[in-house]
Amino acid sequence: MPSAEEYNIDLANRQTQVNEWAYNNKMDTLFVFQLLFISLLFVAILLVLKNQGYVGGAFVWYSMGILLFLVLIIIINRSMYTSTKRDSRLWNRKQFGEDNTKESPLGRGDSSYLAYIDSVRGAYSASETKCKCPTPPKNC
């Protein structure tokens, strides 16, 4: 059974995680609202230019269609990423589903992998034994 101090530390850490997730979710929502506002402003400018006769109606409708398509793709992408890939505890982490349960393609005890590990360890230990001092001590 954890002590009261450990329990309070765990509770404070979890509350920090909840606060960070809520903050970042609000920032994501703010991004979507900013995107919508900029899009509406662009559409309003296009409609004003169309009413004054500077641009044609087809240009305005095609531009609005492309803009609507892009905005919808961005919103759907962010929504799907948050609901399917984003970690429910930490905002900046991604869930990888079943990847962590899959076996390595090399298999356990594969000789090629073990030879590679041994060669890396050998190169690392050899570099540690070299003396890097400008004036080597007597034991170097």
Which helix (H) or strand (E) covers residue 12, if one does?
A: helix 4-51
90 touches 20 (CB < 8 A)? yes
Give the tokens for residue 52: 């004054």
34 touches 78 (CB < 8 A)? no
Q: What are phi and psi of 86, to 5 degrees?
A: -70, 140
DSSP state of 89: S
> Rounded to two decimals, what is the model's pTM?
0.63
pLDDT tens-digit series, residues 67-103: 999 999 999 999 998 888 888 778 778 877 776 677 7
pLDDT tens-digit series, residues 38-78: 999 999 999 999 999 999 999 999 999 999 999 999 999 99
